Every structure is written in structure tokens, then in C-alpha cells.
Amino acid sequence: MESAASSKAKVGLIGLGLMGQPIGMNLLKAGHTLTVWNRTTSRANELVALGAKLATSPKEVAAASDVVLTIVSDPPALESILWGADGKDSGALAGLKPGSTYIDSSTVSPALARKIAAACAERSVRFLDAPGELIFMVGGDAGTLKSVEPILGVLGKRWFHLGPNGAGQTIKLAMNMILALQVDALAEALALVTRAGLKGEDLVEVMQSSMARSGVLDVKAPNLLKGEYKPSFPLRLMHKDLGLALELANQIGVALPATAAARETYNYVKGAAKEDLDYSAVMKFWKS
Ligand code: NA7
């Protein structure tokens, strides 16, 4: 049997947003046969022009593919893609072929990842939760991961096998908490410094020369200083991830006081926003 690792593997991609589009490009560049579906069909135009096949439903993508990838906004979006909007098995799960592999790279709850794993097991489909972009955090069977490593290699630089299904999502939520709190902390500190009459640029320069330096602030500090928040990682998605982290913490009885406070700050900015903003726009809480 041809392994999923083969460069000939037929790949299906569902979700062509900010992250899905470049994934599709990379798969085509690597020579994969690619079938795509997106709720808003026009977002598939560029990939179709480059050779991707456009399916009429998520189920059709699944039926045409050896390896299926999904990357959509949030748990409700993923559930409707997998189980169908009508709840009558019209979604992608019903189309997945026995022996095929399904990888979800959306950031959703670990509980949903485990529910999907169970539904896949019933159909003899191998499933990995693998959220991330360039670096993938993977939950699921080690052998399944091994079989799709060549595909992950097309999409990113590194991947980490973190445990059974749900483990990838758990680490991803923890990672995004750290990013959200770091940017929120810089925004607070900048509010203090600038209100005290000093230059925000000076704070950033000192900080990045000290033990407080951080990679995410190399990327995001310029946004905060300039007040420019073109979405790279949208604030609405970071807000969703903080909610998912708090939901998990509630389920397992862990207090996350700093995350709860930061979520309210992101919530305020999200509520006041009239456009799609990057999560670094948390600065608008202090300076709109
Ligand atoms: P985007 O750019 O907001 O794209 C979201 C994608 O999800 C896009 O393809 C949407 O389709 C799709 N979507 C959203 N809601 C639905 C529903 N209800 N049904 C079907 N499809 C839906 O997000 P990113 O690409 O940046 O991020 C994707 C994931 O990775 C997310 O979990 C992040 O946290 C990490 P549309 O084009 O709007 O029709």
C-alpha cells in the first residue's frame, strides 16, 4: 500500500483562511495533488488557478484524499465541517476513507480533539491534532505521525510529539496564553511609561537588552509603538484561545488568574473594534 508519506499522496485541505492559503501553496509547490474546499468559495481562486481541484463539500474533499488537513477558525466551525451543518453525517467525517489520515491544525479544545479521534477510530481513520504554523504541536499515535512527516515537512520546520490525542491542543493553548500575556504585559508597561512622559521606544530597547527580552516582542513591539495592527494573528482568534484555555482550566481545576484578567482586556478591545485587528491591538485598551 502506498504510504501517506509518499509525495504522491493525494492531499485534501479544508479551510483557506490566513493560514490555510499558504499551506495549500506549499503543498502544490511540493507536487501534491490537492483538493480544497472553503466556505467562501472565492478564497480558493488562487489555489485553483495553480492547479488545486475545488470540491463542492468537505465530504467530497475527504473522499478524494489519502491525507486530509483542516484549518478553520474555532470549535463550532470544525464541528460543522466534520459532522455537517445539518447534523446528518453530511460532513467530512462521512467521506474519510478507511486507512486514510486526518490532521487537524485548527486551534480547538483538547476535548474536541479527543471526540474527533474517537469518531475517526470508528471509521479506521488515523487522526492527529497538530495545531501550529511552522512549528506543529502533535497529539496522537507516533506511527501515524511518522507516516505524515514528509507532509509536515512541506508545511513547517519542526514538530513535537507531545502525547495522545488532545496533547497537541493542550500545549498549543498554553503557548498562546504565554504569547497573549507577554504582549498584554508590554502594553501595560508602555501605558505606564508613556503616561509618565517617557518614550516607549526606550522601554523596548532596554527590555530587549535585558533578561525580559523576548522573540514575540521583537515582532509585536513595533506594532504597539506605531499603533498599527494589521492582522497577522487576529485578536478574535487569540481571544478564542484564551477562552479555550480557561475552559480547560475549569474542567481540570487549575486557576489561571493572569489569563482570566488578560482575557477581559482582549475582550474589551474585541468588543470595541470595528475591523479585524492583530492581537497586538490589546494596546488599544489604554490608547485607542
Ligand atoms: P481565518 O483567516 O479567520 O480563517 C478561518 C477559516 O475558517 C476560513 O477558511 C473560514 O471560512 C473558516 N470558517 C470559519 N467559520 C466557519 C464555519 N462555520 N464553517 C466553515 N468554515 C468556517 O483564520 P486562520 O487561518 O488565521 O486560523 C485558522 C486556525 O488556525 C484557527 O483555529 C487559529 O486559531 C489557528 P471563510 O473563508 O470565512 O468562509
What 3 state SS string does the chain have?
Answer: CCCCCCCCCEEEEECCCCCHHHHHHHHHHCCCEEEEECCCHHHHHHHHHCCCEECCCHHHHHHCCCEEEECCCCHHHHHHHHHCCCCCCCCHHHHCCCCCEEEECCCCCHHHHHHHHHHHHHCCCEEEECCEECEEEEECCHHHHHHHHHHHHHHCCEEEEEECCCHHHHHHHHHHHHHHHHHHHHHHHHHHHHHCCCCHHHHHHHHHCCCCCCHHHHHHHHHHHHCCCCCCCEHHHHHHHHHHHHHHHHHHCCCCHHHHHHHHHHHHHHHHCCCCCEHHHHHHHCCC
In whole angstroms, give the CA distance from residue 171 to residue 162.
8
Reported as a single tens digit per residue, the pLDDT across 124-135 is: 999 999 999 889
Residue 238 CA: which ligand 1 atom is closest?
34
Q: What does the pLDDT look like over 15-28, one tens digit per residue?
A: 999 999 999 999 99
- Specify the ligand 1 atom closest to the Cα of 240: 34
Active site residues: 172
Please give the mean pLDDT across all residues of the chain.
95
Higher per-residue confidence, 89 vs 236: 236
Shortest-distance Cα residue to atom 19 of ligand 1: 77
Total residue count of the chain as it appears in this document = 288
Is any atom of ligand 1 closer than 6 Å to the C-beta of 238? no
Residue 123 Cβ < 6 Å to ligand 1: no
pLDDT of 4 strictly over 60: no
- What contacts 266, CB < 8 A, 6 or more positions away? 180, 184, 235, 238, 239, 242, 279, 282
Q: Which atom of ligand 1 is nearest to the CA of 40?
A: 39
pLDDT at 5 over 70: no
Ligand 1 contacts CB of residue 70 (under 6 A): no
**Residue 283: pLDDT band with limits 50, 70, 90:** very high
Atom of ligand 1 nearest to the CA of 72: 7
Q: Which of 16, 46, 73, 173 to mutate to test the pocket of ligand 1 (most atoms within 8 A of CB)?
A: 73
CA 202 / ligand 1 centre spacing (Å): 38
Evaluate if residue 1 carries a pLDDT over 90: no
Residue 153's pLDDT band (boundaries 50, 70, 90)?
Answer: very high
Taken in order of first residue, the domains within the chain and their CATH numbers are 10-164 (3.40.50.720), 172-286 (1.10.1040.10)
For ligand 1, whether the C-beta of 281 sits within 6 Å is no
Q: Are 72 and 138 in contact (CB under 8 A)?
A: no
**Model pTM score:** 0.95
175 lines ligand 1 (CB under 6 A): no
- Which pLDDT band, with edges at 50, 70 and 90, does 86 fall under? confident
103 bridge partner residues: 69, 128
Mutate to test the pocket of ligand 1, among 18, 72, 103, 275 (most ligand atoms within 8 A of CB): 72
Query: Is the distance from CB of 280 to CB of 229 less than 8 angstroms?
Result: yes
For ligand 1, atom 12, which residue shows the shortest CA distance? Answer: 72
Q: What's the rounded Cα separation, in Å, for the pair 278 and 232?
A: 6
Examine the pLDDT at 69 and tell me if it is beyond 70.
Answer: yes
Burial group, residue 123, by CB count within 10 angstroms (0-12, 13-18, 19+): middle
Say yes or no: CB of residue 18 within 6 Å of ligand 1. yes
**What spacing in Å lies between the alpha carbon of 7 and ligand 1's midpoint?**
27
Q: Model confidence over 251-277: pLDDT tens digits?
A: 999 999 999 999 999 999 999 999 999
Nearest-atom index, ligand 1, CA of 74: 32
| Average pLDDT over every residue of 282-287 | 96
Could you tell me if the CB of 248 is within 6 A of ligand 1? no
Q: Does residue 13 have its Cβ closer than 6 Å to ligand 1?
A: no
CB of residue 15 inside a 6 A radius of ligand 1? yes
Give the pLDDT confidence score for residue 49 in this predicted structure.
Answer: 98
